[in-house]
Amino acid sequence: MPKQILIVDDHDDLVSDLRIVFSERGYEVKTFESRDEALHLCDLNGFDFVIVDLDDVDENGSPVTRNGGAADSQVTKAFKISAANLRRDFNEDELKQLVETTLNYKAKFVDDERSLQNCHEKIEFELPSAIAPMHNILSYLLERVAKMGVIEPEKSNVFVALDEAFVNAVKHGNRYNHEKLVRITADISSREARFAVEDEGEGFDVTQIPDPLDPANLFKTSGRGVFLMYHIMDEVKYNARGNRLEMVKKPDKLATN
C-alpha cells in the first residue's frame, strides 16, 4: 500500500507542484484548501505525512489582528509542517526526502523580500527521533533567520547551537527511539529569533552537567554542547524537567553595538 500524504493549503500552485512531485514518487496524495474541511472529512491518523499551511491565524486557529483591526498577511506569515504516523514502518531516508522536498517548495511561497522586515514567522516541526532530516531542517531555519536580518550566516554560529540542541534531543532525550517525537519551533521576526526544542524523554538536571572549563573535565566531551549553546545564543533556558530547551538570538547588529 502506498504511503499517504495529506496537504492542507490554499496556494493552488504549491499544492499542484507538491502533488506532482509526491505522486511521481509513488505516494498517494489528498488535498484540502482548509483545515476545517480536512478535519471534518478525514481521519488524520490514516496519513503518513501531513503538510499544513497556517496563514494569519494564531495557535488556536483564530485570525491574527493588530490594534483590533483585520488580519494583515504582510505582517503575519505562519505555517506549520508536521509529521503524523511516520513512526509506523519508519524509514529515515524516506523522512529526509519528504522533509527536503517540502521545505524546498515551501520556501518559494514564504520568501517575499518586500515585506520580510514586517513579518512575524512561526515554524513548527514534529518528527520522529532521527538524525537524517536534521541538516535540511536546520539549514532551512538558518535561512529563515538570515532572511529576517537577524544573523549573517557566514559570521554566525547559530547552526552549531541548533545542531547541538537537536542532537541532544534525539540522542540523549529520546535515545534514538523513533516512537518518541522531537518538536522544534521557531518564532522569527526582525527583532529576534526564538527557538524551542522538546523531546519526550525523561529529562535531566542541567545543573549536573560537568563544567567543560574545569581542568578536571578537559578531556570530557559531556557538557561542551550546552556550553556552546550558552555562548552562542543570547538567552538559553531549560524547563524544570529538562526535556525542553528554549533559546533566543538577537540581531547581530544589536549584539555588536
List, in order, residues 6 or more apart from 208 with CB less than 8 Å away: none
Rounded to whole angstroms, the Cα distance separating 68 from 70 reads 7
Rounded to whole angstroms, the Cα distance separating 195 from 100 reads 20
Q: CA-based Rg of the chain, rounded to a whole angstrom?
A: 19
Q: 19: domain CATH number? A: 3.30.565.10
Q: What is the pTM of this model?
A: 0.66
Q: What is the pLDDT of residue 128?
A: 87
8: phi then psi, degrees, rounded to nearest 5: -115, 105
In the chain, what's the furthest Cα-to-Cα distance? 61
Q: Cα separations (Å) of 20 from 31, 105, 110?
A: 12, 12, 20
The number of distinct structural domains making up the chain is 1
144: phi then psi, degrees, rounded to nearest 5: -65, -45
**What stretches in the chain show pLDDT beneath 70?**
1, 53-90, 105-118, 210-223, 253-257
User: Which residue in 66, 82, 75 sits closest to 9, CA to CA?
Assistant: 82
Q: Which domain, by its residues, includes 24? A: 4-255
Q: What is the pLDDT of residue 116?
A: 60
